[in-house]
Amino acid sequence: MDRRSFIRLAVAGSATGIIAPQVVLGAAHGGPLKGNMAGGIFYTKESPGRWAKKAGPHLPSISKSSGKGGTIIDVVTGHPMKKFDHYIVKHMILDKDFNFMTEHFFNPLTDKAATSQFNVKDYSGALYALSVCNKHDSWLNVIEV
């Protein structure tokens, strides 16, 4: 690779590193989650992409309540657990900046429903729940805690 090609590639890579996080993490910066796949990582109710007819059973439902030690988050995905053929693999909880907080894995042989509960202690702000299906990708929903 000659010097000019290297410099062009380095500049393009730097620009991508500055611009791409703004696109992927649009909601974290006050903007809406947009695009065919809401940043190329997950689907949302507003952006179901190629799975528009699958949003209902894949989108996680989030509720909150008070419990010992803090706020309790309940996540339910109304998706059938059809053994290893088609099931919800896990629920993940992400903070307002999309940082990983915790997760719960499901066993499709024993779990009859994709329900999980998380204690988020003294957390406040936007909280994201991600539901991962083995066939229809990852689905994101948000709640204000």
Determine contact, residues 131/77, Cβ cutoff 8 Å.
yes
25: in domain: yes
Domain ranges, residue 136: 41-144
User: Is the pLDDT assigned to residue 112 strictly greater than 90?
Assistant: yes
Q: What is the pLDDT of residue 30?
A: 39
Provide mean pLDDT across the span 117-137: 94
| Residue 45: other Cβ atoms inside 10 A | 14
Same domain, 9 and 55: no
pTM value?
0.72
139: in domain: yes
Determine contact, residues 137/86, Cβ cutoff 8 Å.
no
| Ramachandran quadrant class, 22 (left: phi over 0; alpha: psi -120 to 50; beta: rest) | alpha
Determine contact, residues 109/81, Cβ cutoff 8 Å.
no
- Number of domains present in the structure of the chain: 2
What count of Cα atoms within 13 Å lies in the side-chain half-sphere of residue 22? 5
Q: Which residues contact 140 (CB under 8 A, 6 or more apart)?
A: 33, 38, 42, 43, 44, 60, 128, 129, 130, 131
Q: What is the pLDDT of residue 44?
A: 92
Bridge-partner residues for 131, per DSSP?
91, 139
| pLDDT one-digit tens code per residue, 57-111 | 999 999 999 888 889 999 999 999 999 999 999 999 999 999 999 999 999 999 9
98: in domain: yes
| pLDDT one-digit tens code per residue, 34-67 | 444 444 678 999 989 888 899 999 999 999 998 8
Determine contact, residues 27/44, Cβ cutoff 8 Å.
no
How many helices (DSSP H) and strands (DSSP E) are in the chain?
A: 2, 7
Q: What is the pLDDT of residue 122?
A: 84
36: in domain: no
Q: What is the pLDDT of residue 10?
A: 60
Q: What is the pLDDT of residue 121?
A: 87
